Amino acid sequence: MTQVATPALREWIVSQTAAGFAPEQVLSAMVTAGWEQGLAETTLENTLRDHLRSHAKGAVAAAMRPEISAQLADKQSSGVAVPTIAMGNSPRVVDVGDRQVAILSSMASPRVVVLGGLLSDEECDALIAAARPRMARSLTVETKSGGEELNESRTSNGMFFSRGESELLKRIEARISRLLNWPVENGEGMQVLYYGVGAEYKPHYDYFDPNEPGTPTILKRGGQRVGTLVMYLNEPACGGGTIFPDVGLEVAPQRGNAVFFSYDKPDPTTRTLHGGAPVVEGEKWVATKWLRAGVFE
Ligand SMILES: O=C(O)CCC(=O)C(=O)O
Ligand SMILES: [Fe+2]
């Protein structure tokens, strides 16, 4: 089949986007219609970029759901689309279907949003109870080889749930997907970490370093990480905040709350260097959800 970006196709792409379909959805419709994946991606990106350039940005953005126009703006700044919380008019709360989640604070660079009441106390307790018997010393993905390694900079214990492995996980995954406007299928299985007194996670980036030899292997499964959601499952008596050293930000670990941050390229200019500060007193439990650019199988 000859594949040409006719004016009709371009119009269709723009109208689908303006109607609120995410670029991923438009892309998958094109692929279903017989377009070759790479060509469809290029056509989609070029069409939307040209369209944004040739129209008064405000008018086009106003016709789109805010999170879509934010995603496109992200694309224009040479990065990729990232999970985005719809905060068009800077709301105090975001409706995620089964809950109202509070927006406690947000920052543009790094892109960080602190959320209140994402999980109920019961959900926090249930996650800890399900994770506790499965905990082991945390491994981090080893970009040198693509395997996993014990990492001295990470003294927490951890485990991964499989995506959709229980009704609880399914419910929380669906909520996160609505919150971040990102497909459930692009999420890694949720990770639970436990830190005792003195345990910490030294500052690091969550994306995979493109210069490491093992990274291409890792990227075959879902592409780069583009966002992180850290959910606090309990409250350490002292210490254990999530720190962003580039900007001197520390997020307090408050049960049921969460911190979300996104990175449109695997690069320090995203200023997403972050870590878990040492626990001084008590213990700390978090659940981390990493979002990939593509489907994570
Ligand atoms: O424990 C924290 O506050 C941060 C956790 C973290 O950075 C991660 O799971 O990638
Ligand atoms: Fe991290």
For residue 90, the model assigns a pLDDT of 78
For residue 8, the model assigns a pLDDT of 63
For residue 70, the model assigns a pLDDT of 53
Nearest to 12 by CA among 175, 1, 2, 25: 25
For residue 49, the model assigns a pLDDT of 65
Residue to mutate (ligand 1; options 244, 288, 290, 291; most atoms within 8 A of CB): 288
Q: Which residues contact 180 (CB under 8 A, 6 or more apart)?
A: 83, 84, 85, 227, 229, 260, 291
The ipTM (two decimal places) reads 0.99
The tens place of each residue's pLDDT in the chain, 297 residues long, gives 445 666 666 766 666 666 567 778 778 776 766 677 777 787 777 777 666 655 544 444 444 445 555 555 544 456 899 999 998 777 899 999 999 999 999 999 999 999 999 999 999 999 999 999 998 766 666 666 666 655 656 677 899 999 999 999 999 999 999 999 999 999 999 999 999 999 999 999 999 999 999 999 999 999 999 999 999 999 999 999 999 999 999 999 999 999 999 999 999 999 999 999 999 999 999 999 999 999 998
For residue 147, the model assigns a pLDDT of 65
| Distance from C-alpha of 187 to C-alpha of 53, rounded to nearest angstrom | 32
For residue 19, the model assigns a pLDDT of 58
Q: What is the DSSP letter of 163?
A: T
Fold of 93-292: Jelly Rolls (2.60.120)
Ligand 1 centre distance from Cα of residue 272 (Å)? 12
For residue 56, the model assigns a pLDDT of 45
Asked if residues 91 and 67 have their Cβ atoms less than 8 Å apart, the reply is: no
Nearest to 55 by CA among 33, 72, 32: 72
Asked if residues 270 and 108 have their Cβ atoms less than 8 Å apart, the reply is: no
pTM of the model: 0.74
For residue 76, the model assigns a pLDDT of 44
Ligand 1 centre distance from Cα of residue 279 (Å)? 13
For residue 52, the model assigns a pLDDT of 63
Ligand 1 centre distance from Cα of residue 241 (Å)? 9
Residues with CB under 6 A from ligand 1: 193, 201, 206, 228, 230, 242, 274, 276, 286, 288
For residue 150, the model assigns a pLDDT of 57
